[in-house]
Structure 1
Amino acid sequence: MNYFQLFSLPAEFSIDQNSVAHCYRELQKQYHPDKFVMLSDAERLTAMQKSTEINDAYQTLKNSCLRAQYLLLLAGFDIALEQKTLQDTDFLMQQMEWRETIESFTQDDEDEIEAFAENIQQQVNDLESTIEQQLVAESLEAAADSVRKLKFMLKLQTELEQLEEKLFD
């Protein structure tokens, strides 16, 4: 059973996160290992495995990048462990510029950091929209490239958040 089936959702990129969270809580109520403490070792092991599967599914479905990778995997296109790099030189150059910008920020740049963060969030939103369209069109190679870009953008967001904590806490 795949994660979408487990959560009774269509295998689509765009899913209702409230439904994911609600279903997760309901499944955990049903399969939480603490409910099986008085049963046999085999039954406890089965409950623990099911609970782990539910947790893995939830982490995957609530994260746009992991969800896109999982949809690609379901379509027979596994990019999780690949070593392939992006061939988009414009994006690679843009990556370098973004990293240099982050490295140049100081405590005096609070407004610029906020604007930069908004720009990066817009880039993430645009990539998620592109990925959704590519998956619907079954353009798997293009979707895989977009997922690689999204991974970078999400990592960039994390680095920016860490910089903000360092500068302003």
Structure 2
Amino acid sequence: MNYFELFSLPAVFSVDKTQLSQTYRDLQKQYHPDKFAMQDDSTRLKAMQKSTEINDAFQTLKDSCLRAQYLLKLSGLDIELEQRTLQDTGFLMQQMEWREKIADFTADDEDEIEDFNKEISALVKGLETEIEAALEAKQLEQTATFVRKLKFMLKLQVEIELLEEKLFD
């Protein structure tokens, strides 16, 4: 069963996160392995497997990047384990500039770091919008390119968070 079907959601990029969370809680109540502790081994194993599937599905569907990758996979394009790099030299140059910027930040740059974080967050939102439009238009290769960029941007956000922890905690 695909993850969208499991959660009774349409297989589209924008998901109702409230419904996703509620369905997750309902499914976990229904299939939590503790409910099957007194059952036979086979029943307990099936409950454990179903609970694991529910957790995997929830983690995938709540994360925009993983959700986009999953939608691509459902459409026949699996980029999850690929080693392919972006061919967009402009974006590659921008990556280098952003990494240099992060490396140059000091504890005196708190406002600049916050502004940079807001800039990156806005770019992430823009990529998510582009992913949604490309998926709706069935432009799988274009979607894959946007997802590769989104992966980088999300890693960059983590780097900014780590920098803030290092400088300000």
Pairwise same-fold verdict (TM > 0.5) = yes
State the secondary structure of the residue aligned to 1:87: coil
Matched, 1:149 2:149: yes
2:47 aligns with 47
**SS of residue in 1 equivalent to 2:83:** coil
Q: Give the alignment of 1:1-169 within 5 angstroms.
A: 1-169=1-169
Q: CA deviation at 1:19?
A: 0.7
The one-letter code sitting in structure 1 at the alignment partner of 2:15 is: I
How far off is 1:83 after superposition? 1.0
Q: Number of matched residues?
A: 169
Superposition TM-score, scaled by structure 1 size: 1.00
Q: Runs ≥4 in structure 1, deviation > 4 angstroms?
A: none
Shift, 1:9, TM fit: 0.1
The SS at the match of 2:147 is: helix
Sequence identity (%): 69
Question: 2-side partners of 1:87 and 1:16: how far apart?
Answer: 33
CA distance in 2, matches of 1:40, 1:155: 44
Q: What CA distance in whole angstroms lies between the structure 2 residues aligned with 1:39 and 1:55?
A: 22
Aligned equivalents of 1:19 and 1:99: distance in 2? 37
Q: TM-score, normalised by structure 2?
A: 1.00
Question: What is the distance in 2 between the residues matched to 1:117 and 1:70?
Answer: 27
Deviation at 1:144, TM superposition (A): 0.2
Distance (whole Å) between structure 1 residues aligned to residue 64 and residue 57 of structure 2: 12
Separation (CA, whole Å) in 2 of partners of 1:115 and 1:58: 31
C-alpha displacement at 1:81, in angstroms? 0.8
1:122: how far off?
A: 0.3
In the aligned structure 2, how far is the partner of 1:37 from the partner of 1:120? Answer: 47
Cα shift readout 1:124-163 (whole Å, capped 9, x = no counterpart):
0000000000000000000000000000000000000000
Give SS of 2:153's match: helix
- Structure 1 residue identity aligned to 2:123: Q
